[in-house]
Structure formats: structure tokens, C-alpha cells
Chain A
């Protein structure tokens, strides 16, 4: 029976050695589906990159007319002229103070999770869950929390309250990155230190932290970049100050970039809106450059660790 069907096949078709290599029928349909999916996935990736380009271009083209060197280094005069130096300096001050709180705490938390708590310990599990939840806190809620904690007892908004709020935004990022980086430190280093009879805290200070420095710096840059762009906590904790205020007293209102943008857009002056775009461009560029720099640093240190 099989012999007859084979004969029939060769009778109807001339012998072609490449025939089996050209997809026909079902296989052709399957390849077409696969190709369509690949095109769709590529299009999705292109779409995401296009959105990034459109956002950057949209901000740059509208802010360009406000941009100049003096825009960055001058203080504002009145509502719609002068520069944004006060906002820039205020953001640096608030973020720096927040980082002063969050970065050491974040590194210590990361150290606790990797060096001191066992991988299966319950306390580590609780702490990880708490860090996840902290990272998932809406930033506006962080603002409300600090409003209740600091602004209400002090009866006034302040740069200090803003800094504390930003520290809560930074802490989980810092803890998470330190934890990830510390896990990359080879166990042989720890064992070598243990074999030499070095105590745990000395191992941490003189072996593990130095080995993880690049990664921790990366985490610190990413955390501060994230905090520098936050608006919601500052809106609630540190938004009441004159637009051209140059007071940097941490216990009064301190100007900031994000609040400058937020408030300028509300003003009924075209000039003010243009300045808001200019400030948005400066802020976005600083944050994007910090992100790219941090990633490059991390890639380099990873390459170094791998060799």
C-alpha cells in the first residue's frame, strides 16, 4: 500500500531536491504568523523609543527659547523673567539633605539583608516585604505622611520636611540596589576574610564595601536622580514660598525645580510657561544624564568583576 502511494507522488511531481526546503501549506502559514509576531514586537519597541524621543523633543522645542546660560545661573526677578538658579540650588539642597538620611540607611539595610540575616530568615523576609511596600508607596502619600509627621507639629512647610519625604522615596531604591550589588561580591572574599579570623564588621568595612563601591555609587546616583524629579511630596511639604525666593533656610520654604515648573505653568503669562518648559528641559536632561552615567558606571564595574 505504501509502495503505491510513493509511486503516485513521484508520478505527479518531478524530482526537485530543494522542494523540502521551501515552506508550503501549513509551514508557510506558521512562518507567516511567526514573522507577523516579530514585526509586531519590533514595532512595540520602536513605539517606546519613539515616545521617549517625542517627549524629549516636545520639551526641548518648547523650552529652547527660554534656555541660555544666564537662565541657569541667575536668580529670577519677578514672576516671568530672570533665571532659575534659586530653584536649582534649592533642589540640590533638599535632595542632598534627603540623601544624607536615606543613603546610609539604605546601605545599612542592604548590608543587613546580605551580610547579617540568613537568606531564609524570617526577619529578612519581613524587611524585604517592608522595603517592597515602601517602594510601592505612592509619592503623594509619602507627602501626606511627612505633612502629618513634621509640617503639622511645626505649623509650617519647610525644605526639611521636603527632604525627609524625598529620603523615604530614596531609601528603598538605595536598599534594593545595595542588596543586589552586595550579592554580586564573590563569597570567596567573605570566606577568605573568615579564614583569617577577621570579625564580621571589619570584613564588611574593609573587604565587602570596597568591592561593591561602584555598584553602591550607581544606586546612590539613581536614587538621587529619582528624588530630584519628584513633585508630589514637595507639593505637600514644601510648596509655599515666593517664586523668586532666595532663602535656603532648611526650616522654611525652600524653592525647587519641580515646584517651579508646577507653579509657573499655572501663571497666565506666556513667558512664564516658556520658562517652565525651559526648567523642565534642564531638570529632565540632568536626570537622564545621571541615569545614563550610572548605567555606564555599573556596566563597567560588572565587566571588571567578571574578569
Chain B
């Protein structure tokens, strides 16, 4: 029994190592041909055997940042509501409903994003542009609403349940003596949150956000539906772009030559390295909190 269990554990570690090996092995052609300039070159012209991941990396980071910026305050607010404000019965219903957002398959989000969210963003973008157009990120809108910004919105919805569930659990671990003590000194609900709850859990909250970021970085299908697959490194969020995962989802099956496939393995390797770094970072930040992507 011990041997069997240990074997299963070893298999997990070996699989993980093999993931890196397979990506590096199948991407070796692209790695040796493009080297590190792959990271900065934005041209992606498979017909000319030129592939660069500059636009992909840029799109991955920008879409994830949009999602983090929008989902962090929302998610923490939901976590606070569920842990400190909602009546018990409301909590028992709303909590699981928010978590169900994480259960919706990514293909459904992609499909829904394309048909429902894209027209919505299309109607939103001109207004944002005229109001905030002095900032370069809110430049002229794309004609149909397919844009980096739309992808960021879809990702926001996808990581919102992760951040809110993790932070809710963190807030529940704050000892009630501390909260009651503050309340007895006359602190209002907000002052308890501001003075006690957030400072004691700040590292855990940061780790929760980093875990959400990890999820956003790697999402392929939902993003590929709404981002437009354009090798574009534009500051304007309302232009189509692409991300590493979305590019692989869009072009892997129809790849025209071996070098293109190899370049996508290389890009996948970059994505894994970024993802593993976020896992490690989340762990390091979390400190004494046990923040892991939870399922129940």
C-alpha cells in the first residue's frame, strides 16, 4: 500500500517533468532557430518561416492584467460580503452560486462572449473612447467589438469565483476575538475590515490574486473566441490581439509547416514557465496561509 501510494506520487512528479521535456523537445526546432529573439519579435508569418511570440506574450500579459484589475476589487468585495455581511441563509445560497461561475465550461464562456459580450462591448467602446480617449489605452474602437478588452472581460468573469472563494475562506479564518474587540471599541463594519480583517489576511489575498492571474494567463478557448487572433502589439485595448494560449488554440490544428508547430510548442513552454512561476510566487506570498486552487 505504501509502495503504491509513493508510486502514484512519483508518477505525478515525473509527469510534470515530462511536460517540460515534451514541450522543449518538440519546440527544439523553433528554439534553435529563433533563440531568445522569439520573445521580442512580433512578426508571425508562418509562410515565411518567421515566428515571434512578442505579440503573444504582450497579449497574454495585457488580458490577464485587465482581468486582475477588474476582478480583484470585485472578488475581495464578494469575499467580504460572504464572510462578514451576508445573513447565514443568503450566504448558503449566494456562496455556491458564485462558485458555480467557475464550473461553467470555458467553451461556453467563449461562445457566450462572442455572441453576447462582443456586441455589448461594441456598443460600449465608442463611449469609453470619447470619455477617456485622452489615454492611449482607450483608443479608437475596433469595428466589431472583438478586442483585447473583451478578452479581459471574459477572463474577469472566469477568475472572479476563484478570487472570491479564496478570499472568503481567508476572511473566515480571522479570529473573532480581534473583530469583536474592534467592534467593542466602537469601530464600524468598514473600520473592522480596514483595520483588522484586511491587514491580517493581506498576504493570503495577494496569493489568491496571483492564483487568479495564473488561471487567466493560461486560458485558451474562451479568449480565442473573442480576441481576434491578430499579431498586434497595440497599446489600444480596443484593437484585436492574441495571447499565447489563444494562438495555440487557433492555429495548432491547422498549422501549415513543422516550424509553425514547433514555434507553438516553444510558446507553450514559455506559458508553462510563466505558470509555474506564478504557482511558486503564490506559495511564497501566501506565507502561513494555505492558499491553493480549491475545488470543494
Contact = CB atoms under 8 A, between A and B. Distances in A.
Given A134-B12, A280-B108, A41 B103 contact: no
Given A34-B191, A45-B94, A226-B103, A144 B82 contact: no
Contacts of A135: 292-293
Given A34-B190, A149-B18, A176 B295 contact: yes
B205 interface: no
Contact of A144 (B22, B77, B279, B292): B22
A49 B94 contact: yes
A1 interface: no
B22 A145 contact: yes
Interface stretch (B43-51, B139-147, B267-275): B267-275
Interface stretch (A12-20, A70-78, A229-237, A244-252): A229-237
A283 B108 CA distance: 9
A225 B99 CA distance: 14
Interface string B12-49: 11011011001101100000000000000000000000
Contacts of A171: 12
Contacts of B161: 48
A190 interface: no
B98 A48 contact: yes
Interface string A247-278: 00000000000100110010000000000110
Nearest to A105: B8
B105 A229 contact: yes
B5 interface: yes
Interface residues of A, number: 98
B116 interface: yes
Interface residues of B, number: 86
Nearest to A225: B103
A193 to B, nearest CB: 13
B74 interface: yes
A275 B25 CA distance: 40
Contacts of B12: 105, 109, 127, 130-131, 134, 171, 175
Contact of A138 (B109, B164, B271): B271
Given A44-B81, A231-B105, A222 B295 contact: yes
Interface in A123-145: 123, 126-127, 129-142, 144-145
Contacts of A132: 279, 282-283, 292-293
A156 to B, nearest CB: 13
B132 to A, nearest CB: 21
B65 to A, nearest CB: 17
Interface stretch (B121-129, B173-181, B212-220, B229-237): B212-220
A44 B161 CA distance: 12
B25 A205 contact: no
Given A52-B97, A134-B16, A201 B74 contact: no
A288 to B, nearest CB: 6
Contact of B103 (A127, A134, A291): A291
Contacts of A192: none
Contact of B98 (A45, A180, A292): A45
Contacts of B101: 48, 51-52, 55
Interface string B92-134: 0010111011011111111110111000000000000000000
B8 A108 contact: yes
A163 to B, nearest CB: 15
Given A137-B19, A149-B18, A201-B1, A229 B107 contact: yes
Contacts of A109: 5, 8-9, 12
A34 B189 contact: yes
A281 B161 CA distance: 21
Which of A126, A133, A135, A226 gathers most chain B CB within 10 Å? A133
Nearest to B91: A45
Interface of B: 1-2, 4-9, 11-13, 15-16, 18-19, 22-23, 25-26, 73-74, 77-78, 80-82, 85-86, 94, 96-98, 100-101, 103-112, 114-116, 157, 160-161, 164, 188-191, 193, 211, 214-215, 217-221, 245, 248-249, 252-253, 264-265, 268, 271-272, 275-276, 278-280, 282-283, 292-296
Given A52-B101, A222-B295, A231-B107, 4 more contacts: A34-B189, A34-B190, A47-B74, A141-B275
17 contacts: A34-B190, A38-B189, A38-B190, A42-B85, A48-B97, A106-B8, A108-B4, A108-B7, A136-B275, A136-B276, A139-B106, A147-B26, A180-B294, A218-B296, A232-B221, A261-B108, A295-B296
Interface of A: 30-31, 33-34, 36-38, 40-42, 44-45, 47-49, 51-52, 54-55, 58-59, 62, 104-106, 108-109, 111-113, 115-116, 123, 126-127, 129-142, 144-145, 147-149, 152, 168, 171, 173, 175-177, 180, 200-201, 204-205, 215, 218-219, 222-223, 225-226, 228-232, 235-236, 239-240, 258, 261-262, 265, 276-277, 280, 283-284, 287-288, 291-292, 294-295, 298
